[in-house]
Amino acid sequence: MYFHALIPFKPVNPKTRLSCILSQEEREAFARTMLNDVIASVLRSGCSATLLCTHPFSHEDALIAVRNESLNEAINWALGQFRCPALIIMADLPLVTAGDIQRLIRTEKDMAIVPGRGGGTNIIFLKNPRCFRADFYGASFLDHMAIAEECGFSVDIIDSFRMSTDIDEKEDLVEILIHGKGRRSREFLESSGFTLAIDEKGRVGVQRNAHKETL
Protein backbone atom coordinates (compact mmCIF):
# COMPACT_ATOMS: atom_id res chain seq x y z
CA MET A 1 0.00 0.00 0.00
CA TYR A 2 1.26 3.45 -0.92
CA PHE A 3 0.60 6.40 1.39
CA HIS A 4 1.28 10.02 0.65
CA ALA A 5 1.49 12.81 3.20
CA LEU A 6 0.46 16.41 2.49
CA ILE A 7 2.16 18.92 4.76
CA PRO A 8 1.09 22.59 4.47
CA PHE A 9 4.07 24.85 5.19
CA LYS A 10 4.64 28.60 5.37
CA PRO A 11 8.39 29.29 4.95
CA VAL A 12 8.13 33.12 5.23
CA ASN A 13 7.18 34.88 8.49
CA PRO A 14 5.53 31.83 10.08
CA LYS A 15 4.36 31.39 13.69
CA THR A 16 3.71 35.07 14.33
CA ARG A 17 2.28 34.29 17.78
CA LEU A 18 5.88 33.48 18.78
CA SER A 19 7.06 36.99 17.79
CA CYS A 20 7.29 37.93 21.48
CA ILE A 21 10.29 35.63 21.91
CA LEU A 22 11.66 34.80 18.45
CA SER A 23 12.70 37.13 15.62
CA GLN A 24 11.31 36.51 12.13
CA GLU A 25 14.55 34.82 11.09
CA GLU A 26 14.44 32.62 14.17
CA ARG A 27 10.77 31.77 13.63
CA GLU A 28 11.56 30.72 10.08
CA ALA A 29 14.41 28.51 11.29
CA PHE A 30 12.25 27.07 14.08
CA ALA A 31 9.35 26.32 11.69
CA ARG A 32 11.79 24.50 9.37
CA THR A 33 13.13 22.55 12.35
CA MET A 34 9.64 21.46 13.42
CA LEU A 35 8.90 20.55 9.80
CA ASN A 36 12.04 18.39 9.74
CA ASP A 37 10.85 16.53 12.84
CA VAL A 38 7.47 15.92 11.19
CA ILE A 39 9.00 14.83 7.87
CA ALA A 40 11.38 12.44 9.63
CA SER A 41 8.46 10.72 11.39
CA VAL A 42 6.34 10.71 8.22
CA LEU A 43 9.11 9.01 6.22
CA ARG A 44 9.84 6.48 8.99
CA SER A 45 6.12 5.59 9.09
CA GLY A 46 6.35 4.54 5.44
CA CYS A 47 4.71 7.59 3.81
CA SER A 48 6.23 9.85 1.18
CA ALA A 49 5.72 13.61 1.57
CA THR A 50 4.63 16.63 -0.44
CA LEU A 51 4.91 20.10 1.05
CA LEU A 52 2.18 22.57 0.12
CA CYS A 53 4.12 25.82 0.41
CA THR A 54 2.97 29.41 0.37
CA HIS A 55 6.34 30.52 -1.04
CA PRO A 56 9.17 28.88 -2.99
CA PHE A 57 11.02 26.37 -0.82
CA SER A 58 13.18 23.32 -1.22
CA HIS A 59 13.67 20.20 0.86
CA GLU A 60 15.84 17.13 0.32
CA ASP A 61 13.27 14.65 1.54
CA ALA A 62 9.98 15.93 0.11
CA LEU A 63 8.24 17.07 -3.05
CA ILE A 64 7.17 20.71 -3.16
CA ALA A 65 4.03 22.34 -4.54
CA VAL A 66 3.97 26.13 -4.27
CA ARG A 67 0.35 27.27 -4.08
CA ASN A 68 -0.95 30.82 -3.92
CA GLU A 69 -4.42 30.00 -2.65
CA SER A 70 -5.63 29.48 0.93
CA LEU A 71 -4.71 26.49 3.08
CA ASN A 72 -8.00 24.71 2.38
CA GLU A 73 -7.90 25.39 -1.35
CA ALA A 74 -4.32 24.11 -1.54
CA ILE A 75 -5.21 20.91 0.32
CA ASN A 76 -8.35 20.35 -1.72
CA TRP A 77 -6.39 20.90 -4.94
CA ALA A 78 -3.85 18.31 -3.78
CA LEU A 79 -6.53 15.82 -2.71
CA GLY A 80 -7.90 16.02 -6.25
CA GLN A 81 -4.52 14.85 -7.59
CA PHE A 82 -4.43 11.76 -5.41
CA ARG A 83 -5.27 8.24 -6.41
CA CYS A 84 -3.96 6.78 -3.14
CA PRO A 85 -4.64 7.15 0.59
CA ALA A 86 -3.66 10.59 1.89
CA LEU A 87 -2.38 11.83 5.20
CA ILE A 88 -2.89 15.55 5.84
CA ILE A 89 -0.54 16.55 8.65
CA MET A 90 0.34 19.96 10.06
CA ALA A 91 4.00 21.05 10.12
CA ASP A 92 3.95 22.23 13.75
CA LEU A 93 3.65 18.84 15.48
CA PRO A 94 7.26 18.14 16.50
CA LEU A 95 6.29 15.52 19.10
CA VAL A 96 4.73 13.15 16.55
CA THR A 97 6.47 9.79 16.14
CA ALA A 98 6.45 7.29 13.27
CA GLY A 99 4.49 4.91 15.50
CA ASP A 100 1.90 7.62 16.11
CA ILE A 101 1.39 8.05 12.36
CA GLN A 102 1.09 4.32 11.93
CA ARG A 103 -1.84 4.38 14.37
CA LEU A 104 -3.66 6.44 11.73
CA ILE A 105 -2.62 4.68 8.54
CA ARG A 106 -3.41 1.27 10.03
CA THR A 107 -6.97 2.25 10.91
CA GLU A 108 -9.76 -0.10 9.86
CA LYS A 109 -12.08 2.87 9.33
CA ASP A 110 -12.35 5.00 6.17
CA MET A 111 -10.80 7.97 7.92
CA ALA A 112 -8.74 8.69 11.03
CA ILE A 113 -8.62 12.13 12.62
CA VAL A 114 -6.55 13.68 15.41
CA PRO A 115 -8.14 16.67 17.15
CA GLY A 116 -5.95 19.55 18.23
CA ARG A 117 -6.63 21.66 21.27
CA GLY A 118 -9.25 24.38 20.93
CA GLY A 119 -11.47 22.64 18.40
CA GLY A 120 -8.83 22.24 15.71
CA THR A 121 -7.72 19.33 13.56
CA ASN A 122 -4.05 18.31 13.51
CA ILE A 123 -3.97 15.23 11.28
CA ILE A 124 -6.40 13.49 8.93
CA PHE A 125 -5.87 10.17 7.18
CA LEU A 126 -8.18 9.36 4.28
CA LYS A 127 -8.27 5.97 2.55
CA ASN A 128 -10.12 7.50 -0.38
CA PRO A 129 -9.54 11.25 -0.38
CA ARG A 130 -11.48 12.17 -3.49
CA CYS A 131 -14.90 12.80 -1.91
CA PHE A 132 -13.45 14.67 1.06
CA ARG A 133 -12.78 18.39 1.37
CA ALA A 134 -10.62 20.09 3.97
CA ASP A 135 -12.06 22.85 6.15
CA PHE A 136 -9.22 23.93 8.45
CA TYR A 137 -10.55 26.97 10.23
CA GLY A 138 -12.48 27.64 13.43
CA ALA A 139 -13.96 24.49 14.98
CA SER A 140 -12.52 22.37 12.19
CA PHE A 141 -12.76 19.11 14.12
CA LEU A 142 -16.57 19.32 14.16
CA ASP A 143 -16.60 20.47 10.51
CA HIS A 144 -14.41 17.56 9.42
CA MET A 145 -16.61 15.11 11.32
CA ALA A 146 -19.66 16.53 9.50
CA ILE A 147 -17.92 16.29 6.09
CA ALA A 148 -16.96 12.69 6.86
CA GLU A 149 -20.60 11.93 7.61
CA GLU A 150 -21.65 13.52 4.29
CA CYS A 151 -19.10 11.27 2.54
CA GLY A 152 -20.47 8.23 4.40
CA PHE A 153 -17.04 7.60 5.98
CA SER A 154 -16.54 5.59 9.14
CA VAL A 155 -14.22 7.58 11.41
CA ASP A 156 -11.53 6.67 13.92
CA ILE A 157 -10.92 9.51 16.41
CA ILE A 158 -7.32 9.10 17.57
CA ASP A 159 -6.70 10.05 21.20
CA SER A 160 -3.12 11.35 21.46
CA PHE A 161 -1.46 14.04 23.55
CA ARG A 162 1.64 14.16 21.33
CA MET A 163 -0.34 14.54 18.11
CA SER A 164 -2.80 17.01 19.65
CA THR A 165 0.08 19.30 20.65
CA ASP A 166 0.57 21.91 17.95
CA ILE A 167 3.07 24.67 18.64
CA ASP A 168 1.62 28.14 18.27
CA GLU A 169 2.34 30.12 21.42
CA LYS A 170 5.12 30.64 23.93
CA GLU A 171 3.53 28.29 26.48
CA ASP A 172 3.47 25.49 23.92
CA LEU A 173 7.29 25.45 23.93
CA VAL A 174 7.07 23.88 27.41
CA GLU A 175 5.76 20.68 25.80
CA ILE A 176 8.80 20.46 23.49
CA LEU A 177 11.26 20.97 26.35
CA ILE A 178 9.49 18.38 28.56
CA HIS A 179 8.33 15.75 26.06
CA GLY A 180 10.57 16.36 23.05
CA LYS A 181 13.56 14.17 23.89
CA GLY A 182 15.53 13.40 20.71
CA ARG A 183 13.66 15.97 18.60
CA ARG A 184 15.54 18.55 16.57
CA SER A 185 12.99 21.11 17.78
CA ARG A 186 14.12 20.62 21.36
CA GLU A 187 17.76 20.95 20.36
CA PHE A 188 16.85 24.16 18.55
CA LEU A 189 15.17 25.65 21.63
CA GLU A 190 17.95 24.55 23.96
CA SER A 191 20.66 25.93 21.72
CA SER A 192 18.65 29.18 21.50
CA GLY A 193 18.83 29.50 25.29
CA PHE A 194 15.32 28.36 26.25
CA THR A 195 14.82 26.64 29.60
CA LEU A 196 11.85 25.79 31.80
CA ALA A 197 10.78 28.42 34.35
CA ILE A 198 8.38 27.80 37.21
CA ASP A 199 6.47 30.81 38.59
CA GLU A 200 5.40 31.42 42.19
CA LYS A 201 2.06 29.67 41.57
CA GLY A 202 3.83 26.54 40.35
CA ARG A 203 2.93 27.10 36.70
CA VAL A 204 5.53 26.04 34.19
CA GLY A 205 6.66 28.33 31.38
CA VAL A 206 9.80 28.98 29.37
CA GLN A 207 12.43 31.65 29.74
CA ARG A 208 15.22 32.65 27.44
CA ASN A 209 18.79 32.98 28.58
CA ALA A 210 19.80 36.57 27.77
CA HIS A 211 23.40 35.66 27.06
CA LYS A 212 22.61 33.12 24.40
CA GLU A 213 19.92 35.36 22.92
CA THR A 214 22.54 37.92 21.94
CA LEU A 215 24.93 35.44 20.38
Which CB atom, from 46 or from 138, has the smaller least distance to its own copies?
138
Work out whether 109 is an interface residue with its own copies (CB under 8 A). no
Q: Does 198 bind its own copies (CB under 8 A)?
A: yes
Q: Which residues contact 35 (CB under 8 A, 6 or more apart)?
A: 7, 9, 51, 59, 91
Contact 86, 110 (CB under 8 A): no
**Closer by beta carbon to its own copies, 32 or else 168:** 168
Widest CA span of the chain, in angstroms? 56
150 binds its own copies (CB under 8 A): no
Q: Does the protein bind its own copies through residue 160 (CB under 8 A)?
A: yes
54 binds its own copies (CB under 8 A): no
Residues 6+ apart with CB under 8 A from 144: 113, 121, 124, 134, 135
Residue 63 touches its own copies, criterion: CB under 8 A: no
Asked if 92 touches its own copies (CB under 8 A), the answer is no
Tally the C-alpha atoms within 13 A of residue 78's C-alpha that lie toward its C-beta: 29
Q: Which is nearer to its own copies, 80 or 119 (CB)?
A: 119
User: Please, what is the Cα angle at 88 between 170 and 14, to 5 degrees?
Assistant: 35
Q: Which residues bind its own copies (CB under 8 A)?
A: 100, 114-115, 117-120, 137-139, 141-142, 159-165, 171, 174-175, 178-179, 196, 198, 202-204
